[in-house]
Amino acid sequence: MQAIKVAVDAVVFGYKEKELYLLLIKRKYATHQNQWALPGGFVHTDEALTDAVQRELQEETGITVNYLEQLYTFGDQLDRDPRGRVISIAYFGLVNPEKLTLMAATDAQEAKWFPMSRIPELAFDHEVIVQKAKERLHAKVHYQPIGFDLLNKEFPFSDVEQLYQAILQKKIDRRNFRKKLLSFGFLQETDKIHSEGSGRPAKLFTFNKDKYQQLEKEGFYFEIKFA
């Protein structure tokens, strides 16, 4: 009887230049060689799942992601891996790529950020995993505040709007969005003004860290209307 192997995969989304990106590696060895895939690999017998996914990220991309959330277990497709019966526990996170330096190693010949609008064909069933992560991220903005580690310390409110629209990949009702988001109290208006190009000057905002962390822990319900 063939032994079942356990693997981990990391879906790491990045936000930069007003767009959502995905971290991928190009595989170096025989199985799906030269194809793009999610960072990941087999779990060692003596390590925790969270340690395994962080190790794979470090080995294949050179980065450490401070917080990864367990996403889903993939194993219903019996032939998802040509090397045998493999069950994968996927994790996902959202980071600022500008704070990270990629460095491919071990079984990855390259590590690269891809815009979500231009994702290449992926190895294994990784397209299914990415789709599941997108669905989770879309749902997450309704029950957890997003943006503390992704935006500058001070930012115009339009940056928050652009972040949420990049995640949801839809235009939002800006007036309704602003009114509701400000009602939660984790955004504070400063007395500083932001002016860019010929646009109308706008007040800068900052995150109320304590309130943000409280809502992040407790969750909240944020109904977003679309334009």
Q: Active site includes 110?
A: yes
Using DSSP bridges, classify how beta strands 19-27 and 108-115 pair: parallel, antiparallel or unpaired. Answer: antiparallel
Catalytic residue among 59, 69, 110, 216: 110
CA–CA distance, 69 with 154 (Å, rounded to integer): 27
Tokens of 31: 């199985």
Looking at the DSSP assignment, which residues form a beta bridge with residue 72? Answer: 90
Amino acid at position 143, single letter: Y
The string of DSSP codes covering 70-98 is: EEEEE-SSTTSSTTS-EEEEEEEEEE-GG
CA–CA distance, 20 with 12 (Å, rounded to integer): 10
Catalytic residue numbers?
110
